Amino acid sequence: MALYEKVKLYLEANSRAWDDDTIKLQNDGDGDYIKIWDVDGLNKPNDVQLDAYEDKANFNVAINNLRKERNNLLVQTDWYILPDVPLTPAEKSTMMSYRATLRNITEGLQTAEDVEAVALPGIPVL
């Protein structure tokens, strides 16, 4: 993960925002480093502190991707729950259960590995 992303997460965790006037990153050929850090009331983070944010960033990317896929499946099945759709009560119940499963699929996920282990269910054939 890029240093910029780690620093941005560090700032967010400390209720701060990126400011180009107070933070400057540079690459010396061996990698990026923080050249200027002039953030009032917040110490410049060290590599260990920044590395802790990599797991969080990986989780955020994974969960956002999962939510996009889940939301796409919800959009594809929106019409099934309209009152005038000719479904039997059993078919409507199947679709409502499927959609509830999709909405709840992100509950309890805490790591990128948890997210990547999720298999989204396919749309039921009615």
How far apart CA 14 and CA 88 sit, in angstroms, is 53
Strand partners, 32: 27
Q: Which pLDDT score is estimated for 84?
A: 92
Please give the pLDDT value at position 39: 94
Among 46, 40, 38, 41, CA closest to 7? 46
Torsion angles phi and psi, residue 12, rounded to 5:
-60, -40
DSSP code of 29?
S
Could you read off the pLDDT of 6-36 as tens digits, one per residue? 899 899 989 999 899 999 999 999 889 999 9
Q: Contact 26/35 with Cβ under 8 angstroms?
A: yes
Rg over alpha carbons for the chain, rounded to the nearest Å, is 22
Task: Read off the pLDDT of residues 60-108 as tens digits, 9 standing for 90 and up.
Answer: 999 999 999 999 999 999 999 899 999 999 999 999 999 999 999 999 9
- Give the pLDDT of residue 32: 92
pTM: 0.70
- Say if residue 94 is exposed, middle or buried (CB neighbours under 10 Å; 0-12, 13-18, 19+): middle
Q: How confident is the model at residue 55 (pLDDT cuts 50, 70, 90)?
A: confident
In a 10 Å sphere around its CB, with 0-12 CB exposed, 13-18 middle and 19+ buried, how is residue 111 labelled?
middle
